[in-house]
Chain A
Amino acid sequence: MSDFPFLSVLTVAPLVGALVVVLLPRRRPELAKQVALGWSLLVLALSVVMWVSFQVDGDRLQFRESYPWIPTWGVNFTFAADGIALVMLMLIAVLVPLVILASWHDAESSKRSVPVYFALLLVLECTMIGVFAAADVFLFYVFFEVMLVPMYFLIGSYGGHQRQYAAVKFFLYSLVGGLFMLAAVVGLWVVGGKTLDWQTLTQVDISTGTERWLFLGFFLAFAIKAPFFPFHTWLPDAGGAAPAGAAALLVGVLDKVGTFGILRYCLPLFPEASKWFAPWALALGLIGIIYAALLAVGQSDLKRLVSYTSIAHFGFIGVGIFAFTTQAGTGAVLYMLNHGLATGLLFLVVGMLIARRGSALIKDFGGAGKLMPLLAGVLFFAGLASLALPGTAPFVSEFLVLIGTFTVNKPVAVIATLGIILAAAYVLWMVQRTTQGTLNPELTGIEAMRRDLSLREKVVVAPLIALVLLLGFYPKPVTDVINPAVQATMQDVGKTDPAPEVGSVQEASR
């Protein structure tokens, strides 16, 4: 089974699905939704099979496929997945069906084609899978950029308030980063001896100056994508304007491309430059944690608030990556997964609230828990996951990031730990202002606000809640997959974990 071309099939399948959905008769939007959902479930099923066939103690890159593409430039269609990519692929496969289900009625309010909405979601899935599955820098870049297009239309055509501005800002901002990366990709191609094969490039020695420039090109693109402070301002706009499902994918998966890119490309390809830049990256991550959390406290719009929380979380991921320890690195990758689940859930729930109220402003809510206890409960749960309460998955990742960082850089870890206090502040204040307190009298007049979670919505949130809890108590299956890849990455960078200051305790007692 491991000879099966999982990655290329996974990449192409959603695209085919999108074509099918678009070609369905326009009069039957329901059919389009069902087909889209079915298709995404198929992808999920295949991903599960792939997950099972992945050998934890096997090669770093598995499921490798390579087809010649542009021989003149030494560019190939090369797909391969390491543990990090595998986890992200799994996240995509899980999130997309849920997002499709959650967006069941979202597109109808926009007066635009319903099938196209779902087709765009599938196209987005294709590009997202491609970007994580690529093992050729050129191919990665291709998916990295193309990914913008479906998301642009999802935000621009189906979004809410200020969608045009947000869509253009999202696209341009990302494109700016992408173009810097293009320059770096070209540069890498030149210094790498006219190949862009990832594995080959890891062996290439680059002179210090060049390496730093190339690193910066890549890093800038990823920092914008992730986004890190101070390149973050597009995310609240995009997240605020995007339909909830698309926002969940945007923040849950799309942005992870940035952090994934740093792990997969910046660190192994430019190890020296990564070390050189690490203090700055740590500083950016740290500022992001504190700054974005404070901003989240001050937001008046639910979706913008969630976007800012994500920026804070990306700060944690950034710190985890650039701490260069196994724990922090594994924590960062795990964080990418957990944040996708938790914030995806948060976005979807917030979307359900907003869809009912017809407004995303926090002040338009108030005491909503009385009307919809279940929805309020799920919102609270998502909030808890977001503030990394033990028992929810993000706790493990945040803990790993912090503890791993602490072993090498105490001040950074200590300041980052302050972020967990702020996280409690923004989550609880948001929960308080929306679902607690005296009931906003306007709400009782809105019929939709009396409807608690429907069966469809329950089906959407249940798997996410279950996963968040499961990974909160038993993260080992995932950490075991991530760990070898992270260790290999740390080896690429040439960093080893520091020994405990008082050694030999463990050996003595175990």
Chain B
Amino acid sequence: MTELKLPSIDYAALSPILIMLGVALLGVLVEAFVPRRHRHLTQLSLALVAVLGALVMVVFNADERLVTIGGAIAVDGPTLFLQGAILVLAAMALLLIGERSVERGGAFVAQAAVTAESDDDRRQAEGSNGATEVYPLTTFAVGGMLIFVAANDLLTMFIALEVFSLPLYLLCALARRRRLLSQEAAMKYFLLGAYASAFFLFGVALVYGFTAGMPDRAAGVDFATVHAAVKDSPASPVLLFAGMALLAIGLLFKAAAAPFHVWTPDVYQGAPTPVTAFMAACTKVAAFGALLRVFHVAFADAAWDFTPILGVVAVLTMLVGAVLAVTQTDIKRLLAYSSIANAGYLLVGVLAPTGAGVAGTMFYLAAYGFSVLAAFAVVTLVRDADGEATHLSRWAGLGRRSPFYAGVFTFILLAFAGIPLTSGFMGKFAVFGPALESGQAWLVVAGVLTSMVLAFPYLRVVVMMWLSEPGDSTPTVTVPGGLTATALMIGVAATLVLGVLPAPLLDLATDAATFVR
């Protein structure tokens, strides 16, 4: 009997993941053992400490380039950059989640088990402290995302997908008010998410089948094997292409690309706004991190085959996002469609098969994450007696009531519209440049054309806020607590700084743009 060879494990390189998952478990214990009134503070601090600790470890690992635990996890430039981005954005999202001064008790339901619309429900809505399970759930999700962007084989990727998706399904259902919407969003997200992950898994199975039969290599789903198989597997390429397609579907679903975007508007609208912010920022980073890795590492040599198809998807995504955003009347839905369109622009970056493309995509992800978090932070502040006032007509004249927040929101909208001196513009340049360089002019043209359409809904909001007279129903903007204010300011500052002086982050992304196999 041969000796069992244990794979080497580089704990330092894995430490961010381990920290997040460990603290998540710890959070579950806190739920069980810490008295209710201390839980909020404890959980929040714990989660933040975890995120910051993980971030420190990411920075500490900055120069690591390795593949560890038997090829399951790759710690390389993109991994570290994206993990860092996820962690920073997650920290901001946690600040939004932890806010309790904007609304008494926070944005989350006190007892998820209370039947919606019942008397108990109304009572909890009036001010019971929100559930603190959200923190461990968030921490789990972040941990899952960290694995997702680092996953170096398809199985790990699948598991990471589930690890970060499942908590998100739950988080969506936890809104304090309008719980029917929240639950509906959770159900839709869950059913469709599960549906898409089934496709992903079937894709994994097919790719596994494809990797068989190479002379000196065992079958497997790690990217090195897949990469080798794409080049010289004797198996039927039908397996490869069908598998690749199904894998792509699973990932594109998470990335909210058309026609797999259908869940996005409903979920973004129904979920508690801090969770929406978290999803819009972090899920996007994670999903595109995985897309980058799958298509740049595993299937790099099939680029000629997948680029046109994914290109069509990208164009469709931009188009659907932009055109449908035009007539939206709910600010969260509008931002959802905007995020769909942005997924299209990100895909343009993904499809540039160069380091510059990877760097551009990563830069865009980080830049977009900051802006979108700030945008949703403002949305949490515009409230009336019934909670957030998300219908656009209610925002009329907001600029006259609270010029500062309206100004901030305008700035972010300008960033989304890609006006220079905002990170949005730099991001667009960062993805369009490499795309054009690799001959994908049609994608750039489509991106430009849809940007024109997309500018209209943003402008409509600006017109609403500034050029319309405030009415009786114009809600007030609540003065944010320290947490939201911090998150908002970080988001806005990052949008501005990345728009004016993008060089440091851009350099970082460029240096980090090489994958290890």
Contacts and interface: CB of A to CB of B under 8 A. Distances in A.
Interface in A179-194: 179-180, 182-183, 186-187, 189-190
Interface stretch (A144-152, A256-264, A454-462): A144-152
B451 interface: yes
Contacts of A157: 466-467
A153 B466 contact: yes
Contacts of A163: 467
B459 A190 contact: no
Given A142-B420, A145-B419, A190 B433 contact: yes
Interface residues of A, number: 34
A379 to B, nearest CB: 30
Contact of B417 (A112, A143, A167, A175): A175
Nearest to B438: A190
A445 interface: no
Interface in A154-183: 156-157, 163-164, 167-168, 171-172, 175-176, 179-180, 182-183
Given A69-B503, A186-B436, A172 B441 contact: no
Interface stretch (B119-127, B144-152, B424-432): B424-432
Given A71-B503, A72-B510, A149-B419, A179 B433 contact: no
Contact of A148 (B419, B429, B441, B452): B419
Given A179-B448, A182-B428, A70 B467 contact: no
Contacts of A145: 419-420, 425
A309 B17 CA distance: 66
A156 B445 contact: no
A172 B419 CA distance: 12
Nearest to B502: A70
Contacts of B441: 187
B433 A70 contact: no
A141 B420 contact: yes
A175 B466 contact: no
Contacts of A182: 418, 428-429, 432, 448
Tell me what chain B mostly uses at the interface: helix, strand, loop, or mixed.
Answer: helix
B452 A183 contact: no
Using C-beta atoms within 8 Å of the partner chain, give the interface range for chain B.
35 or more
A156 B466 contact: yes
A91 B425 CA distance: 30
A429 interface: no
B364 to A, nearest CB: 14
Interface string B349-364: 0000000000100000
A73 interface: yes
B433 A146 contact: no
B420 A146 contact: yes
A164 B468 CA distance: 8
B305 interface: no
B19 interface: no
Nearest to A142: B420
Given A142-B421, A145-B419, A187 B456 contact: no
Contacts of A172: 452, 455-456, 459
B463 A156 contact: yes
Nearest to B499: A142
B414 interface: yes
B341 to A, nearest CB: 13
A187 B441 CA distance: 9
Given A149-B419, A175-B417, A72 B455 contact: no
A163 B469 CA distance: 13
A175 B436 contact: no
Contact of A171 (B445, B459, B466): B459
A176 B506 contact: no
Given A145-B420, A172-B456, A175-B417, A183 B466 contact: no
Interface string B52-85: 0000000000000000000000000000000000
A186 B506 contact: no
Contacts of B428: 182
B444 interface: yes
Nearest to B433: A186
B452 A176 contact: yes
B507 interface: yes
B69 to A, nearest CB: 34
Contact of A167 (B425, B452, B467, B507): B467
Residue among A73, A148, A176 having the largest count of chain B Cβ atoms under 10 Å:
A73
B437 interface: yes
A172 B449 CA distance: 12
Given A186-B436, A187-B441, A71 B466 contact: no
Contact of B503 (A70, A112, A176): A70
A79 to B, nearest CB: 16
A417 to B, nearest CB: 38
B448 A183 contact: yes
Given A149-B414, A172-B452, A183-B444, A73 B467 contact: no
A189 B431 CA distance: 13
A69 B501 CA distance: 7
A73 B509 CA distance: 13
A186 B421 contact: no
A163 B468 CA distance: 10
A186 B420 CA distance: 14
A176 B450 CA distance: 10
21 contacts: A70-B426, A71-B507, A72-B503, A72-B506, A113-B403, A142-B420, A146-B419, A149-B414, A149-B419, A156-B467, A157-B467, A164-B467, A164-B468, A172-B452, A172-B456, A172-B459, A175-B452, A176-B452, A186-B432, A187-B441, A187-B444
Interface of A: 68-73, 112-113, 141-143, 145-146, 148-149, 153, 156-157, 163-164, 167-168, 171-172, 175-176, 179-180, 182-183, 186-187, 189-190
Given A72-B507, A142-B420, A179-B452, 10 more contacts: A69-B501, A70-B506, A71-B503, A72-B506, A148-B419, A156-B463, A157-B466, A167-B467, A183-B432, A190-B433
Task: Please name the 6 residue pairs, one residue from A and one from B, whose CB atoms are nearest each other, closest first.
Answer: A142-B420, A183-B448, A179-B448, A156-B467, A186-B432, A176-B452
